Chain A
Amino acid sequence: MTGAGFLLDLHRCVGCGACVLACRIENGRVETAAWRRVLALNLRRHPAGPTYFLSVACHHCEEPACLKGCPSGAYEKRPDGIVVHHEDLCLGCRYCEMTCPFATPTYDDAKGVMSKCHLCAHRVDAGRLPACVSACPTEALRFVAASTTGAPIAGAAALVPGFADPADCGPALRFLAPAGTRRAELFRSLEEALKR
């Protein structure tokens, strides 16, 4: 069994932020912090490395640190892998913010509780794609449904340079490496350099 999650094609993502805005609209994040972020790597285009973007939200980990770090049981790992935060159970203690290696949960000042991406579970349950995936104009961000076969996605990597150390959480997010002659070469050399 592999849980539901996102797949990001680093060649197709242009870091435009449409996913961030689609999430804001769908989840009513109007004046509060966005649940999704786009991290730009090497926007100055230093020749030693490639330029690409990481569109990230919650990674719906196999072993969610937020859930483990929550004293009030506000987090739930659904059978399909989606990690849901229940606001009504949240103390607002912010432990999850510290335990999550990606600092994914955000504190909502007005309400005094945490909140985070729930993979648009309400849409997924209705057979629809998460709002961010549906909106992505280059079809770089994709949704991978929970699978009982557990077969890995061809060519997909769990880690890329620029992505935080996931500790033992087992994030469900997967990446497809950048292509294009020059960018692919730079990406490989960056991976090699980081391994050393």
Chain B
Amino acid sequence: MPALRTIRTVCPRNCYCTCGMLVTVDEGGRIVSIEGDPENPATVGHVCLKGLSYARREAYPDRLLTPLRRSASGSGFEPVGWQDAIGEIAERLTRVRDASGPASVLYYEGSGSHGALGGLSMAFWRQFGGCTTTFGDLCWPAGLEATRLTYGVNFHNHPALTVQSRLILLWGHNPAETNVHQWRLILDAQARGARVIVIDPRQTDTTDAADMHLRPRPGTDAALALGLAREIVEAGFHDSAFLEAHAHGFEEYRQRLDGFPLEHAASITGLDPEEIRALALAYAGTKPALLIAGFGLQRHSRAGQTMRAVALLPALTGNVGIAGGGWQYANLASHCLRPLTLPPEPAASRAIPVSQVARHLESLDGPPIRAAWIERGNPAAQNPAAHRLRDALARLDTVVVVDQFMTPTARLAHFVLPAKTLFEEEDLVTAYWHPYLQWRAMVLPPPGEVRPESEIWRALCERLGYDTSYFPADRESFLQALLPVGCGFTLDDLKSHPIDPSANSGVAFADRRFPTPSGKVEFASDEAAEAWGVDRVPDYAPLGEGAASPARGRFPLQLLSCKTRDRIHSQFGNLDWVRGVERPHVLDIHPDDARTRGIADGSRAAVWNDRGRIELTVRLTPGIRPGVVHVLEGWCHDGDPDVNVLTAEGITDMNHGATFYECLVEVARA
């Protein structure tokens, strides 16, 4: 029996759970088990199938283990040594810079692997003279900003308090697939008598277990929230004492509600008026009630105002600052690390919106983009207008991609550099559901020629004679120095258990102090108006490309491309173990919508709009709202249909998010 080592570490994926893990390896470096870390009070003792799949992924036959260079013929890749790869890349990047300026190089980093060391890339780029980066985020920024504007900060109750709820309202959220630890707690609460209510245009694993399910039209959540609020106030179910003490701008908000009588809210959302009334009375009549919003309802151009409208319901009903209640969107309590020491930002640097990379690659001037470096991301499949982004990347002088696998983006590169896995470099990892900062341990040495990204950047700096003092001489002491001053814990403490670095008691806003300009919950926000040009009070406006827009004449169906438990975006979908248990990749369409188009179950259908076209197999799905069709996102290997050729490069009304779910299509037999 070979000697075994068990090491505490953490999963760094862009996922709610950020599971603490115990990984056991044998002397040969083979992973013999992966288990949940019982020391993490939120993810206690379990990981999901993706966490388990690391046992396969680490040494997967397709993993890239050596730098690759596009072969001279242009078809395929050939292995190249690090010294040659770094030398040629440095030479090509400096040539582009010298001809067109540093901003002609795009540096694109995705969210594929979380850790503090990722930021070291800027130690290179700032010495390079600057570059073009991206701003905003494809995922969640409008909801973050809406929460900040409303409550002052993105904190929420500790996950363990979920079981104290008597009613849990899941709004555009599918934790049975996307936050399985939260789902365990919700099931526990339900077993103790809590009602579970879900708002989602689709029927999902979450709605199956719910006590009540409402299926509004996508993009109408603000009207639903305002309609609910009006019913709650009409019924006198709002918490007057809380509002008097802690609400700012309530009178203006109350006037806004006059515009959303029940029948009007029902006609916008496509819900039955009685459903809305029943939800209003259930939510406001039960305490403590917990409202958990997903990210899906803010993936459109009206996202920020929608999220402000929804986020106010817990305050309206006095559910803020109490155990078992609250507003849950994202919890940034663990986001406490000190910034990296970096060179000053050069004046030549600029940034483009991350949801509009294709457009800017095509048309940006002064200077145009001529080279790109892409790491921790797969924009050729995962960004809006993916086909245009692919074409534009293919036209660049130089593309460098760092990845573990040959993704659709990596295929377009001139150089593909092999990336480390989560097990191959120490780091500090924050979370966005539970409050814990966690230590990511070095479990295994990088295999083959693999180098951590931080070492790739250091090598490039060395090659170009730049200052390398920004890089860790010793990673542990480097990371120790990133812990907040006076935090009272050390790296050794983090190695033994996850730590909540915030001073929160577990109940967010227990002291009813809100770090907003007014010090209160902002039902009206001058800051929102000044920063984003929106109305001071949350309102509803129809989507530019939605249920009520003229474009529905040609493209009558609203397309959603939701997340599932099998992947984190396009990661994990290449693994045989995951493919063996994953959800079928189909177009979900309501039987009524299929019948009018003569589409049969199991047949091939084309889905298209003015931006693009894909083909895939149809599944007649009575569980989806008529007028809505759905494809799971993130399937992009080996010729899979690519949903993002259909999505638009819109921007959310707040905080520069993407608008994946504002997408009209038509469907026909292929």
Q: Is B49 an interface residue (CB 8 A)?
A: yes
Scoring A residues 6 to 31 as 1 if CB is less than 8 Å from chain B, else 0, what string do you get?
00000110111110111011100011
Among the 9-residue stretches A62-70, A147-155, A160-168, A176-184, the one with 4 or more Cβ atoms under 8 Å from chain B is A176-184
Q: Which residue of A is nearest B620, CB measured?
A: A44
Candidates A14, A20, A46; contact of B176 at CB < 8 Å:
A14
> Which positions 351-368 of chain B face chain A at CB distance < 8 Å?
none
A-B contact number at CB 8 A: 114
Q: Is A145 an interface residue (CB 8 A)?
A: no
> Which positions 84-142 of chain A face chain B at CB distance < 8 Å?
131, 134-139
- On chain B, the residues within 8 Å of A131 by CB distance are 33
**Is there contact, CB below 8 Å, between B212 and A21?**
no
**Is there contact, CB below 8 Å, between B580 and A34?**
yes
Interface SS, A side: loop
Q: Is B53 an interface residue (CB 8 A)?
A: yes
Q: Is A175 an interface residue (CB 8 A)?
A: no
- On chain A, the residues within 8 Å of B529 by CB distance are none
Q: Assess A43 versus B49: contact at CB under 8 Å? Given A14-B177, A137-B181, A138-B187.
A: no
**Is there contact, CB below 8 Å, between B213 and A44?**
no
CA distance in complex: A131, B36 (Å): 12
Q: Which of B47, B55, B577, B622 has the most CB of A within 10 A?
A: B577
**Is there contact, CB below 8 Å, between B203 and A18?**
no
**Is there contact, CB below 8 Å, between B580 and A20?**
yes
Q: Assess A180 versus B49: contact at CB under 8 Å? Given A45-B203, A46-B622.
A: no
Write the nearest CB–CB distance from A109 to chain B, whole angstroms: 16
**Is there contact, CB below 8 Å, between A18 and B208?**
no
Interface SS, B side: mixed
Q: Assess A181 versus B208: contact at CB under 8 Å? Given A25-B33, A137-B180.
A: no
Q: Is B242 an interface residue (CB 8 A)?
A: no
**Is there contact, CB below 8 Å, between B184 and A180?**
no
Write the nearest CB–CB distance from B329 to chain A, whole angstroms: 22
**Is there contact, CB below 8 Å, between A17 and B187?**
no
Q: Is B196 an interface residue (CB 8 A)?
A: yes
CA distance in complex: A52, B211 (Å): 15
Q: Could you tell me how many residues of chain B have their Cβ less than 8 Å away from some Cβ of chain A?
A: 47
Scoring B residues 609 to 629 as 1 if CB is less than 8 Å from chain A, else 0, what string do you get?
000000000011111000000
- On chain A, the residues within 8 Å of B183 by CB distance are 14, 138
Candidates A16, A34, A44, A134; contact of B622 at CB < 8 Å:
A44
> Which positions 17-56 of chain B face chain A at CB distance < 8 Å?
31-36, 46-49, 52-53, 55-56
Q: Is A3 an interface residue (CB 8 A)?
A: no
**Is there contact, CB below 8 Å, between A137 and B184?**
yes
Q: Is B581 an interface residue (CB 8 A)?
A: yes
Write the nearest CB–CB distance from A162 to chain B, whole angstroms: 14
Q: Is A5 an interface residue (CB 8 A)?
A: no
Q: Is B584 an interface residue (CB 8 A)?
A: yes
Scoring B residues 172 to 184 as 1 if CB is less than 8 Å from chain A, else 0, what string do you get?
0000110011011
**Is there contact, CB below 8 Å, between B181 and A47?**
no
- On chain B, the residues within 8 Å of A138 by CB distance are 180, 183-184, 187
Q: Is A50 an interface residue (CB 8 A)?
A: yes
CA distance in complex: A16, B577 (Å): 12
Q: Which residue of A is nearest B582, CB measured?
A: A17
CA distance in complex: A43, B622 (Å): 10
**Is there contact, CB below 8 Å, between B623 and A44?**
yes
**A/B interface sample: 6 pairs, CB < 8 A:** A14-B205, A17-B582, A21-B56, A26-B33, A45-B208, A138-B184
A residues near B (Cβ < 8 Å) are 11-12, 14-18, 20-22, 24-26, 30-31, 34, 38, 43-47, 50-52, 131, 134-139, 178-183
Interchain residue pairs A-B with the least CB separation, the first 9: A17-B581, A45-B623, A21-B52, A137-B46, A18-B49, A180-B209, A137-B180, A45-B203, A14-B176
Given A14-B205, A30-B56, A137-B48, 8 new contacts (CB under 8 A):
A16-B180, A16-B581, A17-B578, A24-B56, A131-B33, A135-B47, A137-B180, A179-B190
